[in-house]
Amino acid sequence: MPPLRVMPNRNKKSRAVILLSGGLDSSTTLFIARSRGYICRSLILDYGQRHTREISSAVSVARRAGSAYNIIKIAFPWNGSPLIGKAGKLPEGRTVGKIKKGGIPSTYVPARNTVMLSYALAAAESIGASAIFIGANALDYSGYPDCRPDYIDKFNELARLGTRAGREARPIRIYAPLIDLTKSRIIKKGLKLGVPYELTWSCYKGAARPCGMCDSCILREKGFEEAGAADPLLERAKR
Amino acid sequence: MPPLRVMPNRNKKSRAVILLSGGLDSSTTLFIARSRGYICRSLILDYGQRHTREISSAVSVARRAGSAYNIIKIAFPWNGSPLIGKAGKLPEGRTVGKIKKGGIPSTYVPARNTVMLSYALAAAESIGASAIFIGANALDYSGYPDCRPDYIDKFNELARLGTRAGREARPIRIYAPLIDLTKSRIIKKGLKLGVPYELTWSCYKGAARPCGMCDSCILREKGFEEAGAADPLLERAKR
């Protein structure tokens, strides 16, 4: 059973924990979970991102979705990625496409999704949720080891073995509904579900407007272009 | 390859991350890692334990072992176990033996080892460590789903898929060298390695002396008895 496909949510009162960063992908994921009838609780993990813009975007999106949320500060001295802290220099321009096949981008953060999914698993079991949603995507960030289907599969197996829910009742399922979608398909899906993309934030930098230069900005722009839609965040910034 | 057996550490400059709680098992595990020639870094996770006695014990043990250490505060609203916070009532007397075979004790904390191992994995990859040590034990706490060999196996598979180290270089290995040992065998091993058991703390309560009534005290007492040794912590308390 592939982890990517969201199983029917027969019990309309099922709870789900959503890992919400405030970006385009995780915001769309929240709205997908909501559309399946889950009672959603968003986990907003503050792990020392370069700017707080992401956190406030996540809060705005959770509110718009009518999702309860928790902001959890992870005081962890992560090294090894320029996405964390102010020390490293961010890569400018498109680097994703320049990496050799199977290579890992310099923006990789050690075991990030493992830590985030672990928190989600603990939270899910604590509140009796039956599902976890993560906006991992294997196409745009094919280099990240913890954004691939085999990794999500493996975490599902771990969740079954490592919890009371998994051993004694029903395992908590991890869903990554965007994992094999292109950015433009994600955006099309999100627009249908009413995702407020003007509230989301993708840029690696925390300025007033998106820089338009980093990987994330470039992927987002291309996504909206291919989806044949205007990015409401840029529309708003123009005004 | 069973995760319990520690592989030869051929490169004597290999680093290891040790999950150190300050209890008997994790302290013994630190000294086992040290005896294999690893350069040890202890991770002391403060996840809202009932008392700070555990933290200070862990620091004392790390210092005695000559291990670098980090104390990391995890501000996470865990519910569902009386071991966390002050709200729940601790079970008195031996409950472990009273639980039906395969049952999970009330002291279970949702996904605790998954969260702790995730931090250890992130730390290990950040500092270039090749191994993680955890004092999980499947005999005394057979009820805990995340203290069993199949769980540790699964986390090893996850560590391989979820990190740059695992995909591009050599996977970080998780070792649980105590997983199939009785408490008395753990103590015998530890005494040979010079573990300062007078610095360790096992009691679920944080009083000046161990309560002698909780599961953890009873298991510890029985362990020393069967090992034919006096518990130096109790010896010291008598004075």
Q: Where are the domains of chain B?
A: 15-238
Angle A169-A156-B15 from CA coordinates, rounded to 5°? 120
pLDDT exceeding 90 applies to what percent of chain A? 57
Torsion of CA A149, B146, B73, A133, to 10 degrees: 30
| H or E element at residue A153 | helix A149-161
Put simply, whether B141 touches A (Cβ < 8 Å) is no
Q: Cβ contact (<8 Å) for A125 and B112?
A: no
Contact A163 B146 (CB under 8 A): yes
User: Which whole number is the average pLDDT over B62-71?
Assistant: 96
Residue ranges of E strands in chain A: 15-19, 39-46, 68-73, 131-133, 173-175
CB contact under 8 A, B118 and A122: no
Among A6-15, B45-54, B143-152, the minimum mean pLDDT is found in A6-15
pLDDT at A175 over 80: yes
**pLDDT, tens only, A194-214:** 999 999 998 888 778 899 998
Q: What's chain B's length in residues? A: 239
Tens of pLDDT, residues A111-142: 989 999 999 999 999 889 999 999 999 886 66
- Cβ burial of A149 (10 Å; 0-12, 13-18, 19+) is middle
Asked if A104 contacts A81 with a C-beta cutoff of 8 angstroms, the reply is no
Count the neighbouring beta carbons within 10 Å of the beta carbon of residue B184.
16
Q: Which two tokens stand for residue A65?
A: 């979705």
Residues 16-75 of B with CB under 8 A from A: 70, 72-75
Q: Is A79 on the interface with B (CB under 8 A)?
A: yes
What count of residues does chain A have?
239
Q: Which of B126, B132, B141, B152 to mutate to test the interface with A (most CBs of A within 10 A)?
A: B126
Lowest mean pLDDT among A26-30, B10-14, B156-160: B10-14
Secondary structure of B19-48 in the HEC alphabet?
A: ECCCCHHHHHHHHHHHHCCCEEEEEEEECC
* Residue B86 neighbours by CB distance under 10 Å: 9
3-state helix, strand, coil in chain A (%, to 5): 40, 10, 45
Determine the 3-state secondary structure of B146 from DSSP.
helix
- Farthest CA pair distance, chain A: 55
Specify the pLDDT at position B167. 85
> Cβ of A85 under 8 Å from any chain B Cβ?
no
Q: Which string of b and e fits A1-18 if b means at least 16 CB within 10 Å?
A: eebbebeebeeeebbbbb
ipTM associated with this complex: 0.86
Does any CB of chain A come closer than 8 Å to the CB of residue B99? no
What's the distance, CA A222 to chain centroid?
18
Q: How far is CA B13 from the centre of its chain?
A: 23
> In this structure, what token pair is assigned to residue B125?
């990859």
pLDDT of residue A167: 85
**pLDDT tier for residue A102 given thresholds of 50, 70 and 90:** low
pLDDT at residue A26 is higher than 50: yes
Q: What is the structure's pLDDT at A177?
A: 97
Rounded distance between C-alpha atoms, residue B161 and residue A23, angstroms: 24
Distance separating alpha carbons of residues A217 and B238, to the nearest angstrom: 66
Beta bridge partners of B39: B15
Cα(A186)–Cα(A179) distance, integer angstroms: 10
d(CA A196, CA B30): 50
Q: Architecture of domain B15-238 in CATH?
A: 3-Layer(aba) Sandwich (3.40)
Phi then psi for A39, rounded to 5 degrees? -80, 115
- A80 at interface of B, judged by CB pairs closer than 8 A: yes
CA-to-CA separations, B200 to B57, B67, B218, in angstroms, rounded: 6, 15, 15
Which of B99, B71, B75 is CA-nearest to residue B85? B75
Number of H helices, E strands in chain B: 8, 5
